[in-house]
A and B are shown apart, each in its own frame.
Chain A
């Protein structure tokens, strides 16, 4: 079966750095997305990786290792507004998007 694993919840301190991991087992791989979802709102696109390595976009970076079936989202200089759920999603060989359950990130002052 197809599976994406993320921690259910993480807590971090304002101003710190946090890394949210995602591991996947899918039938084929055509890319990995990270989305942010604030409570009561829609998911919004954060990043996309298809090649191994690190993609940096401001305070957020996303890393991919296809051989390990592993990705992480790195958030630097955490702000209170970063409190949200972060969803990992993988495009399989049929270009179907497989979604993880999401990681709820709690930022404390």
Chain B
């Protein structure tokens, strides 16, 4: 079975540029999560979708961050304009029913983002 697929695996870009991260959840999963992980702050939930609808975006740092889920098999996280403090590993995870059935979240391999 294919797991959660994220692209790109690595991204290095200059401050001010737009960055788009992509995620394909596991087929059949209807909940999708975007996380950011740094040494200082650990794993932080940015936003999560249930049935393609954003449910909780309280973790999105500021207006420079936006996320979309146009269909059940694709989501994007966009940063515009990017800043050096956005450098982190960004993970996408998916599960069934937002965890209400206590199914674990399955993580993609992450995107390692470096903003110079």
Is residue B25 contacting chain A, with contact meaning CB distance below 8 A?
Answer: no
B42, B100, B107, B110: the one within 8 Å of A44 (CB): B107
**Is A99 in the interface zone, CB < 8 Å from B?**
yes
* Contact A42–B99 (Cβ < 8 Å): no
Chain A contacts for B83, CB-based, 8 A: none
Chain A interface residue bracket vs B:
20 to 34
The number of inter-chain residue pairs (CB within 8 angstroms) is 39
The dominant DSSP class at the A interface is loop
Are B104 and A42 interface neighbours, CB within 8 A?
Answer: no
CA distance A44 to B108 in the complex (A): 10
For chain B, which range describes its interface: under 10, 10 to 19, 20 to 34, or 35 or more residues? 10 to 19
- Is A96 a contact of B56 with CB atoms below 8 Å? yes
How many angstroms between the C-alpha atoms of A87 and B35 in the bound complex? 14
B102 within 8 A of A: yes
Q: Does A75 contact B (CB under 8 A)?
A: no
A19 at the interface (CB under 8 A from B): no
CB pair B102 A48 closer than 8 Å: yes
1/0 per residue A33-61: CB within 8 Å of B?
10100000111110010100000000000
- Residue A101, interface by CB 8 Å: yes
Question: Is A21 part of the contact surface with B, judged by Cβ < 8 Å?
Answer: no
Chain A residues with CB under 8 A of B98: 95
List A contacts of B43 (CB < 8 A): 43, 87, 99, 102
Nearest CB to that of A31 among chain B residues? Answer: B102
Binding site for A on B (CB under 8 A): 42-43, 45, 56, 91, 98-100, 102, 104-110
